[in-house]
Amino acid sequence: MKKIFTLLFLGSLIIKTIAQPNIDAMLKEGNIFLGKKQYQDALAVFDKVIKVSPKNADAYYARGVTYSNLNNTIEAISDYTRALFYNPEKIEALINRASTFSGMQKYEDAINDFNKAIEMAPNRADVYNNRGYLFSLQKKYDKAIADYDKSISLNKNYSMAYINKAYAWNALGSDSLSIDVLTKLIAVNPDYSSAYFNRAVMYRELHKNKLALADYDKGLKLEPNDVTALLRRAELKDEMGNHKGAASDCSTVIELDNQNALAYYTRALAEFDLKQYDKIIYDCTEAIKNKDKYFEAYILRGNAHDFLGEYQAALIDYASAIEKNSNAMDAYNQRAIAENKKGNVVCAISDFSRAIKIAPDNRDLLHKRGILWYATKNYENAVLDYNKLLEINPNDIKALVTRGDLFLLLNKKEYACADYKRAETLGDGSAMSKRIFNCK
């Protein structure tokens, strides 16, 4: 019996030796599918491997990666856990499980995994960076920055750690420190376009537009087809008065992606400053074609129609904008202006009222509605709007003088004279004349 047992045992060894190369080949085949993003094919291969070798940590790990790419987080977590059960030293499974936990917003579970990964490999810069990112998501920025610093100390060329650290400082309200970090990154890696693009964002927040523009220029020399950077540079150029340059950047984006709604809309904004109203109508139409609920494009196209005297077309666009977004304050504002031009004062007042309901402290809207109340002899309603204006800004000379005029029309001479006197003390000559004439 002993001899038979020995033979059987040896036989099992022979079978295992023969099967192992097949498993390696299958794993290689599955990883090739995985690299080609043929996830279902990869999944089928890894399933076969696990069926043949149910304790194969590499197969569970690879299948977990496949499930992650298929957004099946539950199965991914399960497979990473099995991989770690059969090989507790498989750090990549630990790191990937942490990342999956992070995507599920299970931050404590993710941090626990990263802590274990750091115990296993204390000199891996990427693990500190990843844990730091989790701390940032939890708004624990001090801890995040400490991890990014550790990551950089382990690998001074680890660009992502610099970028993440810059964002952490930005979240803490220190754009200047963000810029310092990105400047250090540029010194280490001068060909890293994202460093320039991110620093440009920080400069713009600080209203250092020339420096921001210079960084976009440098970054786009390295990555000339970066659509996001091109659009941000276009917005910046338009803000700085270079409307033709802004339109040109948008045109480049459209050449790269002719379905980019934002590029058409941004180019239309530049064209508005250039008074190219026909082009605005075309670009806004293209923007809407590629993004149906683009209410801002409806408003801008309506404005172009308005400037061309095409008030009915403008009103249709403003109505479409409101249909897409009932809180589109500017759509109500612009429609009110168009209605007023057509002589529909009541409709204009109604739309200004809707806009004010959305933005109750908007001085421009209150002033416009106040003027229309005045024009329609609704003096008491007009006074209420000017009361609100003066509540927001007690030194609004124009509001003081106009309210004074309204008080006179309402036979409230004492109040009118008080308003004229107040406006006069603020330096308004017309108020002095009105006071002298009306307040003897």
User: 230: closest CA among 205, 252, 208?
Assistant: 252
Q: Is the pLDDT of residue 13 over 60?
A: no
Tens digits of residue pLDDT in 34-91: 999 999 999 999 999 999 999 999 999 999 999 999 999 999 999 999 999 999 999 9
User: 415: closest CA among 371, 379, 378?
Assistant: 379
User: 119: closest CA among 86, 79, 88?
Assistant: 88
What letter does residue 401 receive in the DSSP assignment? H
User: 409: closest CA among 384, 378, 364, 430?
Assistant: 378
What letter does residue 410 receive in the DSSP assignment? T
Domains by residue range for the chain, with CATH: 22-122 (1.25.40.10), 124-224 (1.25.40.10), 361-440 (1.25.40.10)
**Positive or negative torsion for Cα 403, 409, 410, 415:** positive
Span of 2-16, 126-140, 235-249 with lowest mean pLDDT: 2-16
What letter does residue 359 receive in the DSSP assignment? S
- The mean per-residue pLDDT over the stretch 296-313 comes to 96
pLDDT level of residue 19 (50, 70, 90 thresholds):
very low
pLDDT of residue 20: 52
pLDDT level of residue 364 (50, 70, 90 thresholds):
very high
Q: Is the pLDDT of residue 9 over 50?
A: no
Tens digits of residue pLDDT in 152-163: 999 999 999 999
Q: Is the pLDDT of residue 264 over 50?
A: yes
- The mean per-residue pLDDT over the stretch 320-347 comes to 95
Which position has the higher pLDDT, 331 or 13? 331
Instruction: Say what the alpha-carbon torsion angle 231, 234, 240, 242 is, to the nearest 10 degrees.
Output: 180
